[in-house]
Amino acid sequence: MPHLPFIIAAFAVTGVGVIWLVVSSYVGMRRSEALADDLRQQP
């Protein structure tokens, strides 16, 4: 049984999971902090 497809699949699963986590966490943080700052500046 060739091992390469299994290795690629394992690293791809990890890559997709980590990228999703990073993007969702970063976008969520930036969006919330920007909205909070905008509201604070409103009179």
Euclidean distance between CA atoms 14 and 38, whole angstroms: 36
3 binds other proteins (CB under 8 A): yes
How many residues comprise the chain?
Answer: 43
19 binds other proteins (CB under 8 A): no
Provide, rounded to whole angstroms, the least separation between the CB of residue 20 and other proteins. Answer: 7
Euclidean distance between CA atoms 27 and 37, whole angstroms: 15
**Upper half-sphere CA count for residue 36 (Cβ side, 13 Å):** 6
41 binds other proteins (CB under 8 A): no
Q: Residues interacting with other proteins, by CB under 8 A? A: 1, 3-4, 6-7, 9-11, 13-14, 17-18, 20-22, 24-26, 28-29, 31-33, 35-36, 39-40
